[in-house]
Chains A and B, each alone.
Chain A
């Protein structure tokens, strides 16, 4: 019987299950199968239960940002609001549109939620707790977001509604576009830690978090992740005033509830991803000796990331679709490539010419490089905006000149006699 280890309680429970099943006489392969099944079930359940809390949190915090209280009637402090919402959605009529593709219509919300739950398979919760420590974790995240894109596309198409289809097209365009700078900025933690496995990236931040080594990349990753989840200011995809709420217009009742679950779970998944890549994941004082403490640090950091998402949502107005796309292709992609090149050059130059620099020296050099990069990007934007403004003023002068000429013509000709 494995010795009880309170500091590593989930691992102990896993081993205990294995020991108990083996003592019942099961073959070792099937014991492993049941162990993994139980672990996956628990992880998926936790991932699906977290949105119940975060929906309440979001509504409360968004309410406070807007100088109001948020839900406070259902239960103490409005804590039962999520349950009330789910009950309401369950009692609504479940309509499938006429001539809609039944199978795909019913399956696409499930694929949406599936793509979110499977993201949590690679996120490390503690030093000994990670779902699957695959050595291509970052690439896996990219593949899974492609799956979410297909779910949205299918949801929009199967509704047999042209507006839903148009909304789905726009959603897929935005999601696919913003994947590019997101992955480019994700390459920077991969470079700094030397591995694509998320557990190795977190372990490499034991001395210094990557937000200090690559703050610009962190901010870029955060912004493009907000665009990926379809949150304000990029929430064209689901706003009621835009294209009649887009791809989920024909979904009623609990199917709509599942789309909303997908959206809130995805929004909460950005916090942990940002914490894993840039804020040091489960790293903290005594996190390696007491793994359960790692979970606490990880949750604190992810809720901080989630709070920032709500903050940004309550602050900024919505961006139009063409501004959004030109922002991505004309600003984010070149700037993230620049950040990648600068980080690669500086890091490699340091390891070639000054191999003995400690953690603090490396941090100072990379941080300075990032600051210089930000300054040059701001100067570049200012020059570009200045050029656009000069061109527009030139056009205005030309227009006024034409108007002056036409005034002269009117004054030259005598007024026609009535």
Chain B
């Protein structure tokens, strides 16, 4: 069973960890809701568009009406008869031109709204890519760190195994030396007896073999 080694976190590490946690909390609780509101406004059409179109219509009408009235005053001041074809033509021209101006303003407001949506969406997209890039950099760094952590863990495991193996080898070495001494001592003490015994057994075997050979040769 291995004994554990602990290294306590330094004061500075803890400080940074705390700041990171606090700031992430602030971002998530304060800024993300703002960001979400902003992101929700990025859409084409909607109530904002209709409002812009209504305002444009009102502004165009407001701007054109005095011109229309001025034209009538000028016409009457010049002696134009309200029953004349010229007056009827003037009234028709002024009304249709005003209608053209107002409808142009309304459609223009709708187009402006669309362009505004594009601008805002593109800005958001660029900002979003910054978020994505930050995430990928962070995940990439985390991936490398996790591999490094795994390596350090395996190295520690391997180092411990190697150290144990070296200890075991040293033990075997001592055992080998002891066994050698014992074997040498044994050989020395009982070598003659063993030799004699071996010779006797060998002799018997040889004689037996020879005997059989003699018999079979007859």
Q: Are A and B bound to each other?
A: no
Residues of B within 8 A of A (CB): none
A interface residues (Cβ-Cβ under 8 A, vs B): none
